[in-house]
Amino acid sequence: MSESFVFIDALLRRPVPRTPVWFMRQAGRYLPEYRRVRERAGSFMNLCTNPDLACEVTLQPLRRFRLDAAILFSDILTIPDAMGLGLSFAEGEGPRFARPVRSEADVDRLPPIDPEDDLGYVMAAVRLIRRELDGAVPLIGFSGSPWTLAVYMVEGGGSRDFRQVKTLLYDRPDLMRRLLDKLAVAVADYLNAQIAAGAQAVMLFDTWGGVLPAEDYRDFALAAARRVRERLRLGMGETRVPAILFTKGGGQWLEWQADAGFDALGLDWTCDIGQARRRVGEWVALQGNLDPVTLYADPDTIRGRVARVLESYGSGSGHVFNLGHGILPDVNPDHVTAMVEAVHELSPAFHR
Amino acid sequence: MSESFVFIDALLRRPVPRTPVWFMRQAGRYLPEYRRVRERAGSFMNLCTNPDLACEVTLQPLRRFRLDAAILFSDILTIPDAMGLGLSFAEGEGPRFARPVRSEADVDRLPPIDPEDDLGYVMAAVRLIRRELDGAVPLIGFSGSPWTLAVYMVEGGGSRDFRQVKTLLYDRPDLMRRLLDKLAVAVADYLNAQIAAGAQAVMLFDTWGGVLPAEDYRDFALAAARRVRERLRLGMGETRVPAILFTKGGGQWLEWQADAGFDALGLDWTCDIGQARRRVGEWVALQGNLDPVTLYADPDTIRGRVARVLESYGSGSGHVFNLGHGILPDVNPDHVTAMVEAVHELSPAFHR
């Protein structure tokens, strides 16, 4: 690969002329053009499993905003779906699994996954998006983390108190470990297949790591993420595929995370990114972390808040600008423009 | 006062023979005897505003469990209710305000509060509970923190994304500061009145501090809590009333919290209490922090998890055992017994 991407370079802490920017759920409901395709698809899962439509919505935000990366449009729960748990999305609600994992037998019954066979629609989308991007910006592949997949699989959907999955962990740590081991293999193989199909960076979304007691986060959620990392084939040198770990609510545990072998950590909006850099910036790049709710504020406020994040991180490479969580569905796209343009205008001063 | 209470002594980091224990929402729906009184009262607000019934449910958990403190049964939103915002609780939903605070005029219109006049039912309950307790254990008074009150007042109820209150903070920091200043005065006066009526410790619940970016937490939520603290009349020596600050999701900011002048910090279950002690144990006592979901697990698991919290904190005074958040409404009371008895049995070893 002869291209040089500011996004990849920042993740690898190589010098960059400005801070790259993309944002979580950038292909999403806040875009009218997304809503049109989503309607055409009929259901969210139809959209995910149709490579042409997934490619189309992946590219949409790049046409509007000066972004430095595309992220594969998909769901974090494709793996348990491929394992036969029966994923569905009720309108206006979260994901549901028809057959949750509750018992030892349920765990043992989970089949291994062959990503090219079982999740071929994802790999087809990755190949198609790479072709359509034609080198303009790099493509990020992703997966839910083993712990986050386990949460949905055991709860059978979203949860407020995580009663089922935590009770399983507390009462049967051995069984939780078996489940996470299986998922770590599946997730790593899935990400490796995305890399083989063309993903130029990969990100592990640990959406629910932050709901655990510290010790359990380390011994279960993070331990499983580390097993994923150990199995990833990221390559070296020019073709190195950086790996990012994002744990929502994980700001207390950055030192542990920085030791898990990922190139970069995603930060939610509650972290002070400058403090985070002082804690772990010697080992990892940092991605984040504007509060998504900021995008409801005035464009001038947004610009001021972008400046604060850039100033807090300070001078030098190792920062990828992002929101601290996914963009909210009813944000005004013009406000997104204000954010992205502010990063373009203000960040070069931090790279002289 | 000539009694010596293990709860008060631990908060003031004086030597104690064992670790005291109480837990948040200990007077609550998980108790069948509470549900009976609640039904008799007709509504949650009727229960809060009737001193006899509030006293009765305050005392209920003390009859079942060997607890070291009683906590006034009340709601965290009594102040905005007294300010005329029209608080109600729809069955199965959270609190609602009929007249949310959205504009400059709304903020300026908020009346000052005279706690003895406007919240006389709370003071009557405090006096009655003190009389009924008759020195058995100390009584904790409490209030929602200014920021947490502001969240409910601006949102008009609970929220998932805190869009209204954060947008107000981001776009109009001056107006948010005026609102928080007003609330800090009201909260401090309210807690001082509870102390005058007989509360022997006070606790400030900052339920929503953890949803803010770090800098905003410090400059708004914590700054307002500090203003409350500065206005509190806690006394000195034998009659000292310890003050506790609890910020859910605040584990990243313990150093800042420890500098706000409270005697103790409440920790949610995501903190490692041993790490927290190493960070701030020189300045404050710590209260917490078993994951409330633990109480769904087997009694043996519960006992093991209690042991872990005690071991993590380690030897010496300065620890009040508690849950990391309120008890969940469908917990089996026998599991609570397992937790409380484990603290009684295991903790003396840490105080030799």
- At A236-266, the pLDDT tens digits run 888 899 999 999 999 999 999 999 999 999 9
Cα torsion for A12, A16, A18, A24, to the nearest 10°? Answer: -20
The pLDDT value recorded for residue A2 is: 44
For the annotated catalytic residues of A, the residue numbers are 25, 29, 38, 75, 152
Cβ neighbors of A198 (< 8 A, separation 6 or more) are A126, A127, A129, A130, A139
Q: How far is A336 from chain B (nearest CA, A)?
A: 15
Dihedral sign computed on CA atoms, order A172, A175, A181, A186 = negative
Minimal-distance CA residue of chain A relative to B161: A293
H/E segment holding residue A141: strand A139-144
Closest CA to B292 of B271, B317, B261, B268: B268
| Residues of B whose CB is below 8 A from A292 | 161
Query: CB within 8 A of A350, min separation 6: which ones?
Result: A19, A310, A313, A314, A315, A316
d(CA B71, CA B196): 16
Find the helix or strand (DSSP H, E) in which A247 lies.
strand A243-247
Contacts of B291 in chain A (CB under 8 A): 166, 213
Residues, chain A: 352
Distance CA B68, CA B322 (A): 11
Which of B275, B277, B286, B293 to substitute to test the interface with A, most A CBs within 10 Å?
B293
Whether the pLDDT of residue A268 is over 90: the answer is yes
Rounded CA separation B27/B35 (Å): 10
Question: pLDDT tens-digit profile of A210-224?
Answer: 999 999 999 999 999
Which residue in B162, B170, B270 is closest to A210 by CB distance? B270
pTM of the model: 0.96
Whether residue A307 has pLDDT greater than 90: yes
Which residues have C-beta within 8 Å of that of residue B320, sequence separation ≥ 6? B7, B10, B11, B19, B20, B21, B22, B68, B264, B285, B286, B287, B288
In three-state secondary structure terms, A108 is helix
Angle at which helix B32-41 crosses helix B51-64, to 10 degrees, equals 170
Return the pLDDT at B2. Answer: 45
Q: DSSP label at A157?
A: B
Span B228-234, average pLDDT: 98
- pLDDT tens per residue, range B169-219: 999 999 999 999 999 999 999 999 999 999 999 999 999 999 999 999 999
pLDDT-based confidence at residue B94 (cuts at 50, 70, 90): confident
Residue A293 contacts B, CB cutoff 8 Å? yes
User: How do residues B65-75 score in pLDDT, each as one tens digit?
Assistant: 999 999 999 99
Instruction: Say how many C-beta atoms besides its own lie within 10 A of residue B316's C-beta.
Output: 14
Q: Quick check: A3 pLDDT over 70?
A: no
Question: Which of B162, B251, B293 is nearest residue A161 as measured by Cβ atoms?
Answer: B293
Q: What is the pLDDT of residues B267-317, one digit of tens each?
A: 999 999 999 999 999 999 999 999 999 999 999 999 999 999 999 999 999
The residue behind tokens 């599946």 is: A186
Considering only CB atoms, which chain A residues are within 8 Å of B211?
Answer: 270
Closest chain B CA to residue A254: B252
In this prediction, residue B1 carries a pLDDT of 44
pLDDT, average across residues A64-91? 94
Cβ separation of A301 and B170 shorter than 8 Å?
yes
In which region does residue A341 sit, left (phi positive, over 0), alpha (psi from -120 to 50) or beta (all else)?
alpha
Amino acid A89: pLDDT:
87
What does chain B come to in residues? 352
- Nearest-CB residue to B296 (from A163, A210, A270): A163
Those residues with Cβ within 8 angstroms of residue B249's Cβ, 6 or more apart along the chain or in another chain: A249, A270, B209, B210, B211, B268, B270
For chain B, the three-class secondary structure string (H helix, E strand, C coil) is CCCCCHHHHHHCCCCCCCCCECCCCCCCCCCHHHHHHHHHHCCHHHHHHCHHHHHHHHHHHHHHCCCCCEECCCCCCHHHHHCCCCEEECCCCCEEECCCCCCHHHHHHCCCCCHHHHCHHHHHHHHHHHHHHCCCCCEEEEEECHHHHHHHHHHCECCCCCHHHHHHHHHCHHHHHHHHHHHHHHHHHHHHHHHHHCCCEEEEEECCHHHCCHHHHHHHHHHHHHHHHHHCCCCCHHHCCCEEEEECCCHHHHHHHHCCCCCEEECCCCCCHHHHHHHHCCCCEEEEEECHHHHHCCHHHHHHHHHHHHHHHCCCCCEEEEECCCCCCCCCHHHHHHHHHHHHHHHHHHHC
Residue B270 has which token pair? 């995501």
Whether residue B313 lies in the annotated active site: no
Residue A1 pLDDT level (bands cut at 50, 70, 90): very low
- pLDDT of res. B3: 65
List chain A residues with CB under 8 Å of B163.
293, 296, 328
The 10s digit of each residue's pLDDT in B312-333 is 999 999 999 999 999 999 999 9
Tokens of B94: 């959270």
Q: What is the pLDDT of residue B238?
A: 84
% residues pLDDT > 90 (chain A): 95
pLDDT above 50: residue A52 = yes
**Measuring CA to CA, which residue among A308, A332, A333 is closest to residue A321?**
A308
Residues B322-346: what's their mean pLDDT?
98
Q: Could you say which of B270, B308, B328 has the minimum Cβ distance to residue A161?
A: B328
Active site residue B25: yes
> Is the pLDDT reported for residue A21 higher than 50?
yes
Q: What is the pLDDT of residue A237?
A: 84
Percent of chain B with pLDDT over 90: 95
Tens of pLDDT, residue by residue over B156-167, are 999 999 999 999
Q: Is B215 on the interface with A (CB under 8 A)?
A: yes
Alpha-carbon gap, residue B91 to A201, rounded angstroms: 48
Residues of A in contact with B312 (CB under 8 A): 215
Q: Any idea which of A5-14, A128-137, B38-47, B319-328 has the lowest mean pLDDT?
A: B38-47
A324 contact residues in B (CB cutoff 8 A): 213
Three-class DSSP labels, B243-297: EEEEECCCHHHHHHHHCCCCCEEECCCCCCHHHHHHHHCCCCEEEEEECHHHHHC
Q: B30, B36 in Cβ contact below 8 A?
A: no
> Would you call A297 an interface residue with chain B, using a CB distance cutoff of 8 Å?
yes
pLDDT at B237 over 90: no
Tell me how many residue pairs between chain A and chain B have CB atoms under 8 A apart: 86
Tokens 């806040």 -> residue: A30
